[in-house]
Amino acid sequence: MGCGKDGERAMLELENLNKTYPPTSGRAQGAVPEPALTDFSLSIKEGEFFTLLGPSGCGKTTTLQSIAGLEHPTRGRITMAGRTVFCSATNTIVPSNKRKLGMVFQSYAIWPHMTVFENVAFPLVHGHGGCPRSEVRQKVMGALERVGLHDFADRPAPYLSGGQQQRVALARSLVNEPSIMLLDEPLSNLDAKLRDAMRVELRDLVKSIGTTTIYVTHDQTEALSMSDRIALLNKGRLEQLGTPDQIYNTPRTTFAAEFVGSSNILKGQVVDVSGRRCTVQLAFGVVTCPVTGSVEKGQSVGVMVRPHGIAINPAEPDAANCFAGTIRQISFIGEFLDMQVAVGGEILRVFVNSYKTHRTGEDVTVQLPVDLCVVLQG
């Protein structure tokens, strides 16, 4: 069985997955389809809540369906708990129903003419493998217990709230005791308030059950708040892999910085590198930044700083990375002021506490705190 770097067991390994769909009839004649996945590799640990994040069309669903066995990569290998379930080189394809997976999709497909119990029992009664009748009740009630719906077993499924229906879908995917759960945008059909509540509930539930979970979303808030680790995809390739903190606070590329959270990205050139610090010439002056990746003198880079990281009128205006600016625009958002501040020829977006009073046209000192500046690699 494969091991993660820190010695934890790898429950799922994707090795160099490539997928190109056959040309569709609607395409211009002779046009070669873009690959949906290119050399995509990942190792997911046992018990991990792992999210595939990225914009529409980046390959999240293709990855999930390849894991599920509902699509087959053009090339590559997929291993689950040490067992190869797909390998293009050896022509190995383990069918979907033999992969020990639980799945919850966007339209969580609860049968409206069945009770909660019947819905959850469905994969046991109608699935392959034939579960003895005597075990069905015990397994269904066990799954309902885990999602907190054991008192609702006899209720017709339509007489449930959206969140409860979501939990029925989860119980149904758990009833076969899967090794891996696949969740494809399971919250996207819920209204905004319920989605907020279910984020926490779903994560706590899945973590308490301890099943390795692969979650697909294009919603950065879901990804950041629920995941142990995130794989950010861009055009079928792995853009960045890391914890929510790493993805948000130290994005490696302009794509990552722009996709997750609000950001200011300032173009510049590295003028000096000294130990773990470097200086970058921007349009309006020189900034000092920490070095996180490989940075060379003369390199063209982007420097990212989050709008809420920028300080206005800091206590020490002579400290590093301080510049004179003028407030051009203020939007009152409630929890904060969203300001546009002109510094040299650039406009910086700055969020400040809304209890502070500022006015358009005000001259201010702007500080880009050294530790909050991130040099982007491309």
Euclidean distance between CA atoms 147 and 167, whole angstroms: 6
* Secondary structure (3-state) at 378: coil
Cβ-Cβ contacts under 8 Å for 194 (sequence gap 6 or more): 161, 162, 163
Asked if 21 is part of the footprint of ligand ATP (rule: CB under 6 A), the reply reads yes
Asked if 36 is part of the footprint of ligand ATP (rule: CB under 6 A), the reply reads yes
Asked if 166 is part of the footprint of ligand ATP (rule: CB under 6 A), the reply reads no
Query: If 0-12 CB within 10 Å is exposed, 13-18 middle and 19+ buried, where does residue 201 land?
Result: middle
Asked if 259 is part of the footprint of ligand ATP (rule: CB under 6 A), the reply reads no
Indicate the DSSP class of residue 236. Answer: T
Asked if 253 is part of the footprint of ligand ATP (rule: CB under 6 A), the reply reads no
Asked if 60 is part of the footprint of ligand ATP (rule: CB under 6 A), the reply reads yes
* Secondary structure (3-state) at 32: coil
192, 269, 355 from 333: Cα distances, Å: 18, 34, 11
The minimum distance between CB 362 and ligand ATP, in angstroms, equals 42
Asked if 218 is part of the footprint of ligand ATP (rule: CB under 6 A), the reply reads yes
DSSP strand E in 20-108: where? 37-45, 49-53, 75-80, 83-87, 92-93, 101-104
22-25 contact pairs (CB < 8 A, 24+): none
Euclidean distance between CA atoms 323 and 313, whole angstroms: 10
Asked if 90 is part of the footprint of ligand ATP (rule: CB under 6 A), the reply reads no
Report the residue number, 101 or 120, with the smaller CB distance to ligand ATP: 101
| Tally of CB atoms within 10 A around 293 | 13
Identified binder of ligand ATP from the candidate list 13, 15, 43, 59, rule CB under 6 A: 59
Report the residue number, 188 or 299, with the smaller CB distance to ligand ATP: 188
Report the residue number, 60 or 203, with the smaller CB distance to ligand ATP: 60
The minimum distance between CB 236 and ligand ATP, in angstroms, equals 7
With beta carbons less than 8 A apart as the criterion, state whether 309 and 372 touch.
yes
The minimum distance between CB 106 and ligand ATP, in angstroms, equals 9
Identified binder of ligand ATP from the candidate list 61, 213, 220, 227, rule CB under 6 A: 61
Asked if 252 is part of the footprint of ligand ATP (rule: CB under 6 A), the reply reads no
The minimum distance between CB 234 and ligand ATP, in angstroms, equals 10
Determine phi and psi for 327, rounding to 5 degrees: -70, 125
The token pair that represents 51 in the structure block: 């999210």
Report the residue number, 56 or 208, with the smaller CB distance to ligand ATP: 56
Asked if 24 is part of the footprint of ligand ATP (rule: CB under 6 A), the reply reads yes
Identified binder of ligand ATP from the candidate list 54, 102, 242, 325, rule CB under 6 A: 54
Looking at 52-60, 83-91, 154-162, 273-281, which segment touches ligand ATP (CB under 6 A)?
A: 52-60
Q: Which residues make up the interface to ligand ATP (CB under 6 A)? A: 21, 24, 36, 54, 56-62, 218
